[in-house]
């Protein structure tokens, strides 16, 4: 069975960076103070909350939870904001912003600042507890934030994975529920953009022209799949919010791009999609053998390259997935190569920089117009 990842975290963290967190974990109240349930009970809710975290802190509980609206307030717990006659994000009767209003506004101003830049959003995989989510953010910073990188801001969706390799089936169910929840967040983000830039009373001067990227690892791809299914079932108009979409070690069926599967519409959410897979991924091999008999996208790639939606590129990482990191986790399981193996995360960084695939030559061998092999 796969073992829990050991994160390679730099020991000299001195530069402050604000991490942004979206979660559908339960909110507990102790002595009148709200706190996120960071245990591994695996109890997802359909309510979204938002928080920030100082990257210099070594205590994973040292987050700052953004207050939310009380249910009785106008506009609270809204699924479709358009049903209200008042503006949701720019309501002058609510000068102090809370919840998603504060989260999106703050992130916009950070992206639009002189030191601003692109944002990378991550959906983590199964067997990832609260601390694991914070560690994921640290690793994303190590790999994708720095000189020459457009990424300046990091967001993670912390869904309540049960933090145990023995609870795979439970995590699958939680990922489905969590996908619906983050689908609501996507709808809120689209509403924010409409009110901010396209409404009759647009309130922000102009788009900052920086980009939003999405990286989904392992079962985080199942979360994305169910988010997309919710958007389709709700009849939403698709907004191409994301610039680059990275599917790393995706724990979804490899027929996922075939119509009418939700991923057949994934290219409507972003400009370009990259699938990183490894034929020796033990974690996905075990999940297929004991939990789901269908081939996984993260081990076999798409079932067919002939009918893929446009702007999808396939990257075979089999030859390099266990290189560099000598730990048992990576050498044996080979599931976390997206942030452990330099040849892989440097390739992802080239994608995030917007480099055309045919121009990315380092460590790539071209197999076809849309498929490459890392060596």
As for how many domains the chain has, the answer is 1
Range of the domain at 262: 18-374
pLDDT for the residue 325 = 58
Is 74's pLDDT higher than 50?
no
pLDDT in tens, 226-255: 999 999 998 877 778 999 999 999 999 999
Taking the C-alpha atoms of residue 277 and residue 240, their distance in angstroms, rounded to an integer, is 24
Assigned domain for 4 exists: no
When pLDDT is cut at 50, 70 and 90, the band that residue 332 belongs to is low
Contacts by 301-307, CB closer than 8 A, 24 or more apart: 301/254, 301/275, 301/277, 301/371, 302/254, 302/256, 302/257, 302/275, 303/254, 303/255, 303/257, 303/258, 304/258, 305/368, 305/370, 305/371, 307/257, 307/258
Assigned domain for 12 exists: no
Structure tokens at 256: 């996922």
Assigned domain for 2 exists: no
What does pLDDT average to over the chain?
A: 86
Assigned domain for 187 exists: yes
pLDDT in tens, 17-62: 999 999 999 999 999 999 999 987 768 898 999 999 999 999 999 9
pLDDT in tens, 251-288: 999 999 999 999 999 999 999 999 999 999 988 987 76
Give the domain CATH number at 263: 3.40.50
E strands, the chain, in order: 18-23, 27-30, 33-36, 49-54, 63-65, 118-123, 151-158, 212-217, 242-248, 270-277, 312-316, 364-366, 371-374
**What is the rounded radius of gyration, in angstroms, for the C-alpha atoms of the chain?**
20
Is 86's pLDDT higher than 60?
no
Assigned domain for 221 exists: yes
pLDDT in tens, 146-167: 989 999 999 999 999 865 455 5
Is 70's pLDDT higher than 90?
no
Nearest to 241 by CA among 202, 268, 209: 268
Assigned domain for 9 exists: no
When pLDDT is cut at 50, 70 and 90, the band that residue 290 belongs to is low
pLDDT for the residue 206 = 78
Assigned domain for 166 exists: yes
pLDDT in tens, 183-221: 999 999 998 888 888 765 667 777 888 999 999 999 999
Please state the pTM of the whole predicted model.
0.89
Assigned domain for 13 exists: no
């Amino acid at each position: 069975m796969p073992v829990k990842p050991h994160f390679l975290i730099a020991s000299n963290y001195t530069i402050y960076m604000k991490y942004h967190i979206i979660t559908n974990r339960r909110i507990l109240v102790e002595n009148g103070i709200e706190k996120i349930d960071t245990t591994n009970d695996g109890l997802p809710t359909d309510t979204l909350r938002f928080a920030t975290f100082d990257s210099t802190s070594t205590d994973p509980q040292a987050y700052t939870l953004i207050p939310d609206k009380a249910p009785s307030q106008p506009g609270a717990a809204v699924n479709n904001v358009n049903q209200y006659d008042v503006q949701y994000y720019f309501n002058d009767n609510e000068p102090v912003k809370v919840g998603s209003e504060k989260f999106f506004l703050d992130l916009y101003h950070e992206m639009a600042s002189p030191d601003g830049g692109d944002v990378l959003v991550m959906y983590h995989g199964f067997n990832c507890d609260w601390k694991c989510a914070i560690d994921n953010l640290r690793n994303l910073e190590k790999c994708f934030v720095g000189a020459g990188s457009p990424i300046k801001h990091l967001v993670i969706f912390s869904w309540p994975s049960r933090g145990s390799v023995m609870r795979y089936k439970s995590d699958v169910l939680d990922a489905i529920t969590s996908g619906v929840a983050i689908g609501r967040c996507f709808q809120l983000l689209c509403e924010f953009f409409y009110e901010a830039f396209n409404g009759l009373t647009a309130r922000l001067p102009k788009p900052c022209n920086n980009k939003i990227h999405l990286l989904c690892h392992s079962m985080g791809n199942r979360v994305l799949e169910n988010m997309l299914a919710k958007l389709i079932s709700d009849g939403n108009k698709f907004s191409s919010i994301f610039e680059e979409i990275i599917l790393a070690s995706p724990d979804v069926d490899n027929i996922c791009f075939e119509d009418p599967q939700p991923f057949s519409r994934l290219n409507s959410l972003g400009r370009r999609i990259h699938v990183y897979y490894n034929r020796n991924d033990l974690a996905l091999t075990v999940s297929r053998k004991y939990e789901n008999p269908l081939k996984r996208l993260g081990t076999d790639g798409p079932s067919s390259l002939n009918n893929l939606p446009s702007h999808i590129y396939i990257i075979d990482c089999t030859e390099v997935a266990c290189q560099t990191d000598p730990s048992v986790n990576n050498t044996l399981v080979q599931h976390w190569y997206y942030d452990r193996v330099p040849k892989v995360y440097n390739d992802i960084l080239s994608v995030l920089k917007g480099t055309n695939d045919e121009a990315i030559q380092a460590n790539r061998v071209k197999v076809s117009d849309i498929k490459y092999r890392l060596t």
